[in-house]
Amino acid sequence: MPKTLLNLGCGNKHLPDAVNVDCNIRVHPDVIHDLNCRPWPFADDSFAEVTAYDVIEHCEDVVAIMEEIHRVARSHAVVKITVPHFSCANAFIDPTHKHQFGHFTSNGGHGCFLRGSSTSSWKSLSESAFSLSWTQGQKPTLMVFGREDYERQGAHVLSNGTEFLCSSNCIIKAVVTMARDNSQRFKNILDVGCGANPTYAREIAAIGKQVHGLDFTFNFLRLAQPRSGNMKLAQADATRMPYRDSAFDAAICSETAEHIPNDRGVVQEIARVLKPNGLLFFTVPNLWNADRIINMVKAQDFTVRLPEHHIREYSPRQVSRLLSPWFRIERRLPVGFGWTGPLGAPIEKMVTLGLLRRFSVSIAVVARKRHVQSQ
């Protein structure tokens, strides 16, 4: 009788009556397979139960792993997953961990949404692990927050004629400052994820630079076109850009990486299209920004809740780790909130002066492409 329990990344913890899978031949799995290689060697709807204990954090693409689990699991299947919580020191100490997770990851924290089961939930097992299971109703459908969702958002803006701001004024100011301060070091620049309102790209074009904009949402580019001036716009996936190697002197990737499941793939692709010593002006939301911390203290609720479209947010250390294989960070800039008033103004001042830079709304860095043997 075929086994109906799939044990992913079994290591030495083989489960009886299970198909135990691992990429390490020395642990003697039933099936030797690298989970990063897809499709897995199992038919659709094969298993009544799937377990992945402390495995997914080691994989390259969490969304792709969830898609494969979803594919091989039957309707009414039980799926059990444990992963390290981002607040656990071991989540960052282990050099083989590629991802960290929070309470709300199953509701979109890594680009995945499970629908169709009223009992789909994450349950706390300890301070450093969580478990996901679905046990009732039909097999949940897996949704990746993708192009169609952004296209609908762009279509809504086009039909209503409402103003659409992709970044706050403080973030725009930071990007423009990075570009102006390094204006002698580049002639052309690529804006990766330019969005519907490429404000900073226009300002950079105004200082005589040739600006190219790329976004994977066609309706965002339709919105950007009337405001883009001489910008050259292209629609493409940021992990597979339609440019030759070493095409650009500099690149912007501002408030973009947090929306993309494969953020490492984006950074690697940017490095590919940059010339040797090319510059990257990079910003991402700061996970532990002052606004979030103040609101947590006020509410006495210390659960991290990310905005709807954010797959993740970053700490300064995570930004360094994300960029370091391909870039060397030259400068870090504080990014304020635009706060005023008797309490807000002093905090804003300390953030923008750099005294409280680690609590900025976003992490902004100037990075230079490393010389590496292969990309």
Q: What is the dihedral of CA 59, 305, 132, 61, to 10 degrees?
A: -20
- In terms of domains, do 360 and 243 share one? yes
Q: Is 236 in the same domain as 300?
A: yes
Residues 136 and 255 in one domain: no
Q: Is residue 192 domain-shared with residue 276, that is, in the same domain?
A: yes
Give domain status of residue 375, yes or no.
Answer: no
- pLDDT bin (cut points 50, 70, 90) of residue 125 is very low
Residues 204 and 268 in one domain: yes
d(CA 124, CA 132): 9
Number of other residues whose CB lies within 10 A of the CB of residue 97: 15
Q: Is the pLDDT of residue 252 over 90?
A: yes
By the 10 Å C-beta count (0-12 exposed, 13-18 middle, 19+ buried), 119 is classed as: exposed
Residues 242, 137 share a domain: no
Stronger pLDDT, 5 or 110, i.e. the higher one: 5
Whole-angstrom distance, CA of residue 254 vs CA of residue 335: 12
Top pLDDT among 155 and 241 is at 241
List of residues 6+ apart from 216 with CB closer than 8 A? 147, 150, 235, 236, 237, 238
Residue written as token pair 């230079």: 368
Residue 12 shares a structural domain with residue 71: yes
User: Tell me, what CATH number does 237's domain have?
Assistant: 3.40.50.150
Q: Phi and psi dihedrals of 211, rounded to 5? A: -115, 130
Range ranked top by mean pLDDT from 54-63, 279-288, 291-300: 279-288
Residue 54, domain member (yes or no): yes
Is 248 inside any structural domain?
A: yes
Gap between the Cα atoms of 362 and 333, Å rounded? 9
| Interacting residues of 261 by C-beta distance below 8 A, sequence separation 6+ | 61, 62, 63, 64, 110, 111, 144, 311
Count CA atoms within 13 Å of residue 27 on its CB side. 18
* pLDDT tens-digit series, residues 4-41: 899 999 999 899 889 999 999 889 999 999 999 889 99
Give residue 120's domain range: 5-144
Q: Are residues 115 and 205 in the same domain?
A: no
pLDDT surpasses 80 at 207: yes
The pLDDT of residue 61 is: 87
Q: Which residue has the higher pLDDT, 110 or 139?
A: 139
Residue 291 pLDDT > 50: yes
Query: Is there a domain that residue 156 lies in?
Result: no
Structure tokens at 372: 């590496």
- Residue 207 shares a structural domain with residue 287: yes
**Is residue 92 in a domain?**
yes
Q: What is the average pLDDT value for the chain, to the nearest integer?
A: 83
pLDDT over threshold 50, residue 111: no
Q: Is residue 19 part of a domain?
A: yes
pLDDT at 114 over 50: no
Q: Is residue 59 part of a domain?
A: yes
DSSP β-bridge partners for residue 363: 284
CA 320, 322, 325: angle at the middle one, nearest 5? 90
Q: Domain count of the chain?
A: 2
pLDDT exceeding 90 applies to what percent of the chain? 45
Nearest to 271 by CA among 238, 317, 232, 311: 238
pTM, two decimal places:
0.64
Specify whether 198 is located in the same domain as 267. yes
Q: Is residue 162 part of a domain?
A: no
Position 62 scores a pLDDT of: 86
**Within this chain, do residues 76 and 183 fall inside the same structural domain, yes or no?**
no
Q: 109 with 222, same domain?
A: no
Query: Which range among 294-298, 309-313, 320-324, 367-371 shows the weakest confidence by mean pLDDT?
Result: 309-313
pLDDT for position 302: 82
